[in-house]
């Protein structure tokens, strides 16, 4: 206990702490709380905030770390560069992919950042100053405007599930690549004076999007006969964040299966998923020369650098064009 107080004094923190804050520091070993305990509390807070998807991701990573550690807890001081490298080796040795590892490591990084911000871990021990998250090659998720047109032109039975799912895909595209989970949560009350006004589920950031002319007939079809508090799409059917999350997961799984059939009918070789409309909108906007700052706002990114990294995965067609220009000189 004396060592903890001495360390806080050396760092210049002691004089700014209240009695209650000092007590919390002593209980959590000078702010270096157990990783398991902190993450479990974080998961509980996420569930309470109805961020069920994020809570599920954190729970899965925590489960994996517990297996790696044989259920033995560790402090944030022990979650260091050496730990990350050993976890990486163990994860890949089990036949898992680099893409999966990157998802896990980004989650661990987020937990570390939240722990530092909460005073449950020390900035000096931040392991990601030295550790670089490895990523594998990402499957292309964007399709060109011509492919979007093929999907739009499909002659589908209005009473069939494929008709609705094709329209959901177009709806996402027309609304700047709106994520499926946000589409699922839209209510008729979010439609205000020819615009869609809503808070994004992932970040709670408010969005205000003009309803384009092409989307109007699709929206009218979905909201026909519905009240203000009804959901626009027939996805969420139960109450409570956990049950609603399951409704969305089930509906998205069915949606992705139907998108495969839609792609085949439209003669599209690229794999269609719920993410493709978002990636395609962004890629097409980039190809049209729309400024990076505007695309960043479209995606809801806090930092332009995040958008830059996002777009770097989508610019293969530009590189192909540059390649052709060079070869023309031969």
Q: Say if 136 falls within a structural domain.
A: no
- In the structure, what pLDDT confidence band is assigned to residue 82 with cuts at 50, 70 and 90? very high
Tell me the C-alpha distance between 297 and 295, whole Å: 5
Distance CA 36, CA 223 (A): 45
User: Looking at the structure, do residues 98 and 200 belong to the same domain, yes or no?
Assistant: no
Least confident range of 80-94, 245-259, 274-288: 274-288
* 278: Cα within 13 Å, side-chain hemisphere: 15
pLDDT for position 330: 41
What's the number of domains the chain is made of?
A: 2
For 28, phi and psi rounded to 5 degrees?
-95, 25
Q: Are residues 307 and 217 in the same domain?
A: yes
Is 5 part of any domain?
A: no
CATH number where 102 lies: 1.10.150
> What is the token pair recorded at 203?
């970040």
Round the average pLDDT of the chain to a whole number and report it. 85
Q: 216 and 68 in one domain?
A: no
- Residue 136: pLDDT band (50, 70, 90) is low
CA distance 286 to 309: 13
Dihedral sign from CA coordinates of 126, 131, 132, 133: negative
Task: Give the residue from 286, 306, 289 showing the smallest Cα distance to 203.
Answer: 306
- Residue 152 falls within a domain, yes or no? yes
Does residue 294 share a domain with residue 229?
yes
CATH code at 257?
1.10.443.10
Q: Looking at the domain assignment, is residue 18 inside a domain?
A: no
Residues 249 and 281 in one domain: yes
167 and 104 assigned to the same domain: no
Residue 10, pLDDT score: 56
Highest mean pLDDT among 13-22, 45-54, 209-218: 209-218
Say if CB 273 and CB 165 are below 8 A apart.
no
Give the domain-ending residue among 98, 129, 160.
129
- List, for residues 150-191, the tens digit of each pLDDT value: 999 999 999 999 999 999 999 999 999 999 999 999 999 999
Q: 174 and 307 in one domain?
A: yes
- Are residues 150 and 118 located together in one domain of the fold? no
Please tell me whether residues 56 and 162 are part of one structural domain. no
Residues 97 and 152 in one domain: no
Q: Does 26 have pLDDT greater than 60?
A: no
Q: Is residue 233 part of a domain?
A: yes
Distance of CA 25 to the CA centre of its chain: 33
47 and 95 housed in the same domain: yes
Sequence-distant (6+) residues with CB within 8 A of 322 are: none
Tell me whether residue 7 is in a domain.
no
For residue 163, what pLDDT is reported? 97
In a domain, 290, yes or no: yes
Lowest-confidence pick of 4-18, 121-135, 281-295: 4-18
Number of residues in the chain: 330
**Do residue 297 and residue 161 come from a single domain?**
yes
Residue range 21-50: mean pLDDT, rounded: 75
Residue ranges making up the domain that contains 163: 145-324
Q: What is the pLDDT of residues 45-61, one digit of tens each?
A: 999 888 888 999 999 99
- pLDDT interval class at 19 (50, 70, 90): low
pLDDT the model gives residue 167: 97
Q: What are phi and psi of 324, to 5 degrees?
A: -65, -40
Domain boundary residue, one of 129, 163, 196: 129
Residue 288 lies in a domain: yes
């Amino acid at each position: 206990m004396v060592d903890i107080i001495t360390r806080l004094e050396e760092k210049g923190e002691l004089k700014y702490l209240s009695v209650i804050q000092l007590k919390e520091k002593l209980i959590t070993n000078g702010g270096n709380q157990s990783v398991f305990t902190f993450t479990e509390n974080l998961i509980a807070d996420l569930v309470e905030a109805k961020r069920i998807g994020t809570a599920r991701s954190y729970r899965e990573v925590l489960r994996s770390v517990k297996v790696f550690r044989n259920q033995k807890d560790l402090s944030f001081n022990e979650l260091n560069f050496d730990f990350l490298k050993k976890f990486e080796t163990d994860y890949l040795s089990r036949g898992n992919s680099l893409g999966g590892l990157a998802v896990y490591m980004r989650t661990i990084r987020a937990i570390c950042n939240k722990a530092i911000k909460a005073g449950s871990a020390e900035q000096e021990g931040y392991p990601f100053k030295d550790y670089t998250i490895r990523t594998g090659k990402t499957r292309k998720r964007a399709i060109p405007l011509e492919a979007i047109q093929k999907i739009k032109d499909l002659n589908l039975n209005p009473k069939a599930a494929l008709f609705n799912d094709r329209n959901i895909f177009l709806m996402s595209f027309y609304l700047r690549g709106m994520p499926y989970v946000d589409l699922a949560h839209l209510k008729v009350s979010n439609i205000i004076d020819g615009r869609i006004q809503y808070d994004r589920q992932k970040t709670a950031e408010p969005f205000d999007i003009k309803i384009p002319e092409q989307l109007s007939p699709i929206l009218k079809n979905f909201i026909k006969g519905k009240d203000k508090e009804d959901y626009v799409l027939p996805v969420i059917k139960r109450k409570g964040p956990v049950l609603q999350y399951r409704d969305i997961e089930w509906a998205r799984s069915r949606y992705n299966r139907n998108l495969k059939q839609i792609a085949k009918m439209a003669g599209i070789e690229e794999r269609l998923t719920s993410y493709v409309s978002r990636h395609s909108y962004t890629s097409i906007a980039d190809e049209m020369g729309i400024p990076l700052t505007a695309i960043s706002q479209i995606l809801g990114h806090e930092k332009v650098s995040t958008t830059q990294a996002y777009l770097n995965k989508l610019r293969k067609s530009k590189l192909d064009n540059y390649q052709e220009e060079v070869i023309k000189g031969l």
